Structure 1
Amino acid sequence: MARSLIFMASLLLFIVSMSSVAATRAQLDLLGGYKPIKDIADPYIQSLGEFAVNEHNKQAKTELKFQKVIGGKLQIVAGTNYDLRLTALEGTVSRTYGTLVFTDLKKQNHLILFHGSTN
């Protein structure tokens, strides 16, 4: 009887610890690695694309006109990296660009990289 109680208690502790490990693993998966952005149409994601084009225009002295974010992924670090693909007009021609925007813990956006046209 005592053995079966010890066995049941050990089994219960094992199950609880495994569920805790699974929850911790899910949290760790969010940290460090890139994950696809689920809702590209989200206004915040679109605003990051517009920010990237505007900052690029200031730095490169160009006149691209933001159209929309068409894809991307994010990475949670001490803030969030947004690796975005977007379209913008160069004159009358729509082109696809890649960009990396970092949002720090104070919610300030920083343009890290803006790739030339991928068309």
Structure 2
Amino acid sequence: MNGLSPQPISYVTLQEQRCVLSWFQGWNVPQRERFMQDLLGKAVPGKVCTLLDSLSTLQVKDKLPNIFECQLRLWTQWFESWEEEERNHFLHILEEKDPVFVAQFYSCVAGTAAKD
């Protein structure tokens, strides 16, 4: 074995990813925008922290903000425990559900890289 073959994604991680996707599909536009900023912060740390800081002071205007905030906290805990391949897998399955969202994410990541 040369170590290049990807590790299989664990059952637990798959369940976590399915859970986040299920939440994502129920989120409204402001919630998805907040998730986008969170995802960008994880993809390019340090580039969007000031934007994330300003976003954290805003309240998401919906009927159940506490549930959404809890979902984001769980998402962060899970994401941090995933290996890079598992994170890439998540983006892949998210892209299957919402290709426009993921295309916008990649465009934003490319935009932050261009500022170096």
TM-score (norm: length of structure 1): 0.22
Larger radius of gyration: 1
TM-score (norm: length of structure 2): 0.23
